[in-house]
């Protein structure tokens, strides 16, 4: 347990540690200087407290130290806001040149760079913020700026130059001519300094846009041409970039005749910086150059630059890569297909610049800048190449840029991703893999750039969400969004986390409510309850309220509200109860007053009894917002509860901070009048604006409720229609079976009746033939008349039963007579043949009846087919009419009436069939009766003949 040195008992080793600690303690106990200033210095820095701001500023500028002077000059814009007249009368003269009689010089004369920069920044702030009317104080500011414009320090000179350029925008034309242009004529001479000539170039470019065209052509353009021929390349390059302002001031014709030749000459300069300046200026003036000049001047220059840039300096390539999209867009109508292909090929090369070649750090940075510029120009190149050809032309380059090894390149690709998605429109699925890669990027800078336009990107991607749900890409996108939030939430960049939650609120409009409740709402609620950064918590509360507002499912909304109340408002931790008040504050901005008063107000007022003073303190701060959501007389009861809550806090509160806050709140509540309009017109207008906004929110909420009810009714209508169609199918099947059974039974009955009649006819024939003698001997030939009479009396409707009754008479008669006539057998044969003919007629009638029955069965079958077709048509119309509930109910009534009509039609057809069958049976019965009557008459005639 002990070290070897202690075991040996060495005193030096034992004392080594304590001696070192004693030395550290001795260093800590050294005397420390309590103050950085002595008493005399403090007396010098002390200012009388009775002085006002203007007097204090004048005193410090006069006798103060440099630190105090810098402070006064930096605070000059606030002094101008408070009292501009006194400031320009007393303070500004101390800053600029004083009267020559005075011995004290001005503050800026001989002052250091810190005071000069502070003065330039203060004057620039005064000019940019429009604090004063520049016309009334032109002399005070402009003289000071022009005096220090040629400062020997480059940084100070540039600061005053920026102030002058900003002042030119507000100066009148006459002042510019007198105070600014006249000194320029002298500064532009070659004998003047380089900084002076550079300042002249910039001032000329700024002034050209302010003056008349005639003055610019007559006085400024010759000076600009002389500066374009300056011996210093910096001056030529600077003036070349200012020629764009001259071109826009003079017009198209003058640009073509005067400025374009000058730019072409500068594009051939020996210095590369001048050539780059000329190239950039020509590209910026592309819209002012006509088609012929584009074809003969610009296109050859661009193609030569593209060919030379592959072997030239990296600066040329960087400039070309930055202007590439503008060049291609401007020359799209003047290029041949071959030239377009060469430009696209050159852009593809620029997209992978520096990835295959290893070089020094400078070349590496230039190559990285080139690829970043390619990301910037990629949307313009998509328009140039046509978005329909994106997959074949630009997708490999875009994919390589999104997966570039450098973070800055991927960040640039993420910044322009929303434009690429918009141009792809329906083909957005092509870049789905790249979107997932950017969302899952390890560098948070890439995700930060993607968050700036995340809402536009997701709107373009999720516009086809109905199709994405069926794909595997939709769950991948949801998982990537959740993983991005977890990655940002686990980092220390809480501002990025706040931005991400702010943009995730757009998912409430883009995703179904089930997806939000299942994936995003639990995570947002977890952030709301566990995150310790207050801005992140507030943004999570806003996002959760947005999810709640746009959810169209009543059960899900109720579940989310119950979770808010149970885990936040009624939570055990006071931290959660404070978060509920934050949620109430956000809900009052997102929801309408009606919804907020119904679901949030009462629960918030119940926190007046909270045991933690911090919760009651925050509730007191929230009371004016809660009361502003009430309107009389509709919210009279809620107002009484709020007043009771205030009285309870005033009567029972013991915490001094809560008491002080509730007193201030009571004063604010007393100023609010709910019954009468505001007296002040501005406040009244603001209230009207708030009321209109609240009405709009309430209409949107009512519309969401109507959409929810309509969706429910549609789902119920679908279920009911499916059930109705199943019932219809069953009824149609049963009706078909019933019709078939009825047709089969009717045909069987007709067949059985016809079979019985056939049997009876055959039996009568056999009996009539059996009653005839085998041998006939005709002896008496005197009876043909009687035979003829007999044959004439025989009718067609004789029945077989009458023949059976006459059999014994016939046998007795033929046995007793010795001479039988030869016509008797003929009589029997003719009678038999007539019977056979009649029976055949009956058989033919029966067959015709059978044929009719067959026709009726075929007609019934056809009717069933027609009914089935009608049912199918009704199904189609039913599915089409499910979109509208009212039309669906009307169709249901029509279907019911149609089914009743069909049933009536079926009953009518069955009645007709039954009637036709009864008629057929009646006809058969009549024929059989007639046949029996004829037979009886024949038998009676035979018997009478015998008698």
As a dihedral over the C-alpha atoms of residue 773, residue 776, residue 779, residue 783, rounded to 10 degrees, the angle is: 60
Confidence of residue 860 (pLDDT cuts 50, 70, 90): low
pLDDT at 669: 83
| Residue 525 reports pLDDT greater than 90 | yes
User: What would the mean pLDDT of 192-197 be, rounded to a whole number?
Assistant: 81
Angle made by CA atoms 698, 699, 703, in degrees to the nearest 5: 115
Tokens coding 174: 């006459």
Give the model confidence (pLDDT) of 689-724 as tens digits: 777 777 777 777 777 777 766 766 677 676 777 777
| Alpha carbon distance 399, 388 (integer Å) | 17
| Residue 328 reports pLDDT greater than 50 | yes
Cβ pair 316, 272 in contact under 8 A = yes
Cβ pair 221, 204 in contact under 8 A = no
User: What would the mean pLDDT of 286-312 be, rounded to a whole number?
Assistant: 79
Q: Higher model confidence: residue 668 or residue 7?
A: 668
Angle made by CA atoms 24, 26, 28, in degrees to the nearest 5: 75
As a dihedral over the C-alpha atoms of residue 228, residue 233, residue 237, residue 239, rounded to 10 degrees, the angle is: -40
Please name the residue that has the structure tokens 């079976």: 737
By mean pLDDT, which of 76-85, 92-101, 293-302 is the weakest? 92-101
Q: Higher model confidence: residue 534 or residue 823?
A: 534
Confidence of residue 889 (pLDDT cuts 50, 70, 90): low
Please name the residue that has the structure tokens 């105070």: 179
Confidence of residue 295 (pLDDT cuts 50, 70, 90): confident
User: What would the mean pLDDT of 235-254 be, rounded to a whole number?
Assistant: 91
pLDDT at 660: 92
HEC string for 607-644: HHHCCCHHHHHHHHHHHHHHHHCCCCCCCHHHHHHHHH
pLDDT at 465: 46
Helix, coil or strand: residue 550: coil
| H-state helical runs in 136-212 | 138-147, 154-168, 173-175, 182-187, 194-208
Give the model confidence (pLDDT) of 803-819 as tens digits: 444 444 344 443 443 34
φ, ψ of residue 832 to 5 degrees: the values are -65, -45
Cβ pair 195, 187 in contact under 8 A = no
Cβ pair 313, 276 in contact under 8 A = no
User: What would the mean pLDDT of 14-29 be, rounded to a whole number?
Assistant: 47
Q: Higher model confidence: residue 512 or residue 672?
A: 512
User: What would the mean pLDDT of 391-410 be, rounded to a whole number?
Assistant: 93
Please name the residue that has the structure tokens 């070089």: 359
Cβ pair 303, 339 in contact under 8 A = yes
Give the model confidence (pLDDT) of 899-946 as tens digits: 666 666 666 666 666 666 666 666 656 666 655 555 555 554 445 455
């Amino acid at each position: 347990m002990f070290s070897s040195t202690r075991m040996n008992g060495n005193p030096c080793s034992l004392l080594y540690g304590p001696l070192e600690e004693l030395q550290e303690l001795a260093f800590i106990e050294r005397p420390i200087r309590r103050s950085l200033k002595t008493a005399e210095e403090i007396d010098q820095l002390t200012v009388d407290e009775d002085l006002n701001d203007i007097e204090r500023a004048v005193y410090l500028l006069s006798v103060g130290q440099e630190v105090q002077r810098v402070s006064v000059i930096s605070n000059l814009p606030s002094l101008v806001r408070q009292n501009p007249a006194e400031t320009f009368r007393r303070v500004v003269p101390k800053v600029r040149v004083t009267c020559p009689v005075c011995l004290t010089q001005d503050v800026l004369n001989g002052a250091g760079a810190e005071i000069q920069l502070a003065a330039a920044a203060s004057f620039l702030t005064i000019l940019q913020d429009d604090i004063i009317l520049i016309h009334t104080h032109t002399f005070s500011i402009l003289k000071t700026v022009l005096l220090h414009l040629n400062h020997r320090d480059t940084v100070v000179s540039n600061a005053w130059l920026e102030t002058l350029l900003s002042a030119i925008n507000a100066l009148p034309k006459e002042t510019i001519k007198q105070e600014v242009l006249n000194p320029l004529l002298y500064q532009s001479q070659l004998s003047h300094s380089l900084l002076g000539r550079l300042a002249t170039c910039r001032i000329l470019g700024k002034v050209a846009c302010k003056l008349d065209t005639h003055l610019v052509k007559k006085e400024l353009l010759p000076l600009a041409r002389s500066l374009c021929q300056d011996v210093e390349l910096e001056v030529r390059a600077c003036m070349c970039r200012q020629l764009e302002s001259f071109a826009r001031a003079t017009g198209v014709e003058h640009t073509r005749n005067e400025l374009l030749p000058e730019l072409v000459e500068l594009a051939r300069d020996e210095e590369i910086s001048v050539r780059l300046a000329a190239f950039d200026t020509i590209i910026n003036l592309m819209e002012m150059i006509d088609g012929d000049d584009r074809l003969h001047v610009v296109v050859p220059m661009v193609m030569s630059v593209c060919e030379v840039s592959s072997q030239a300096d990296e600066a040329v390539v960087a400039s070309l890569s930055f202007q590439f999209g503008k060049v291609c867009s401007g020359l799209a109508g003047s290029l041949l297909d071959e030239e377009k292909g060469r430009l696209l090929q050159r852009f593809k090369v620029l997209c992978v610049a520096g990835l295959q070649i290893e070089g020094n750090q400078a070349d590496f940075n230039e190559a990285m800048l080139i690829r970043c510029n390619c990301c910037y120009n990629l949307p313009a190149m998509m328009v140039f190449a046509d978005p329909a050809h994106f997959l074949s032309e630009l997708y490999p380059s875009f994919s390589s840029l999104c997966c570039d090894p450098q973070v800055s390149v991927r960040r640039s690709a993420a910044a322009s991703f929303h434009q690429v998605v918009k141009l792809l429109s329906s083909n957005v699925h092509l870049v789905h893999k790249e979107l997932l890669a950017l969302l899952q990027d390890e560098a948070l800078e890439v995700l930060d750039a993607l968050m700036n336009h995340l809402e536009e990107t997701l709107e373009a991607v999720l516009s086809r969400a109905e199709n994405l749900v069926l794909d595997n890409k939709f769950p991948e996108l949801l998982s990537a969004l959740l993983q991005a939030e977890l990655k940002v939430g686990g980092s220390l960049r809480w501002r990025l986390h706040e931005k991400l939650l702010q943009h995730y609120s757009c998912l409430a409009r883009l995703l179904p409510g089930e997806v939000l409740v299942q994936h995003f709402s639990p995570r947002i609620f977890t952030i709301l309850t566990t995150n310790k950064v207050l801005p992140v918590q507030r943004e999570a509360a806003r996002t959760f309220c947005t999810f709640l507002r746009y959810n169209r499912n009543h059960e899900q909304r109720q579940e989310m509200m119950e979770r808010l109340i149970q885990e936040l408002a009624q939570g055990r931790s006071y931290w959660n109860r404070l978060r509920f008040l934050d949620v109430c504050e956000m809900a009052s901005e997102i929801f309408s007053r009606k919804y907020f008063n119904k679901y949030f107000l009462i629960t918030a007022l119940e926190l007046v009894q909270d045991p933690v003073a911090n919760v009651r303190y925050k509730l007191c701060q929230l009371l004016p917002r809660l009361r502003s959501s009430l309107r009389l007389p509709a919210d009279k009861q809620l107002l009484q509860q709020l007043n009771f809550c205030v009285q309870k806090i005033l009567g029972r509160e013991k915490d001094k901070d809560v008491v002080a806050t509730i007193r201030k709140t009571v004063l604010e509540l007393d100023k609010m009048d709910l019954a009468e309009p505001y007296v002040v017109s501005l406040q009244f207008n603001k209230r009207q604006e708030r009321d209109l906004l609240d009405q709009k929110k309430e209409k949107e909420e009512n519309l969401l409720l109507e959409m929810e009810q309509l969706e429910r009714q549609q789902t119920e209508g679908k279920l009911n229609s499916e059930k109705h169609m199943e019932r219809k199918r069953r009824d149609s099947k049963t009706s078909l079976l019933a019709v078939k059974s009825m047709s089969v039974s009717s045909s069987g009955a007709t067949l059985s009746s016809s079979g019985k009649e056939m049997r009876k006819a055959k039996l009568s024939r056999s009996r009539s033939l059996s009653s005839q003698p085998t041998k006939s001997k005709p002896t008496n030939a005197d009876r043909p008349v009687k035979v003829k009479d007999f044959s004439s009396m025989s009718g067609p409707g004789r029945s077989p039963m009458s023949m059976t009754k006459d059999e014994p008479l016939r046998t007795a008669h033929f046995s007793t007579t010795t001479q039988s006539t030869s016509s008797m057998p003929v009589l029997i044969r003719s009678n038999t043949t007539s019977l056979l003919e009649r029976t055949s007629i009956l058989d033919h009638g029966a067959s015709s009846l059978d044929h009719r029955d067959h026709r009726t069965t075929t007609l019934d079958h056809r009717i069933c087919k027609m009914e089935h077709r009608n049912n199918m048509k009704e199904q189609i119309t039913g599915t089409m009419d499910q979109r509208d509930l009212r039309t669906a109910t009307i169709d249901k009534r029509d279907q019911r009436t149609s089914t009743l009509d069909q049933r009536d039609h079926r009953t009518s057809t069955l009645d007709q069939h039954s009637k036709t069958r009864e008629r057929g049976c009646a006809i058969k019965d009549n024929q059989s009766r007639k046949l029996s009557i004829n037979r009886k008459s024949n038998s009676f005639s035979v018997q009478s003949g015998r008698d």
